[in-house]
Amino acid sequence: MLKYTIMNEYFNEALRNFTRNFASGGAVLAYHKKGLTPEQIKQKLDFPLSIEEIEKIIKDNNKE
């Protein structure tokens, strides 16, 4: 049961990340490429996204 719970949590996290990146990643990265800070990006977005999520999108993109 514990293995199933861990796998389920892993899947849910991956699905959240995919959904977040698909829905908002392009906008965040476009603003980032223009030189905006995460705080400035948050103000520009029309949908709720935390500073931490914005920073994660930027960080994940820089890994690639």
* Domains of the chain by residue range: 2-63
Closest of 62, 29, 28, 34 to residue 48, by C-alpha: 28
Residues comprising the chain, all counted: 64
Distances (CA, A) of 32 to 8, 13, 35, 60: 32, 24, 5, 13
Distance CA 63, CA 21 (A): 14
- Terminal-to-terminal C-alpha distance of the chain: 35
Look at residue 33 in the predicted model and tell me its pLDDT: 96
Q: Digits of tens for pLDDT over the chain (64 positions)? A: 667 787 888 888 888 878 877 878 899 999 999 999 999 999 999 888 899 999 988 998 887 6
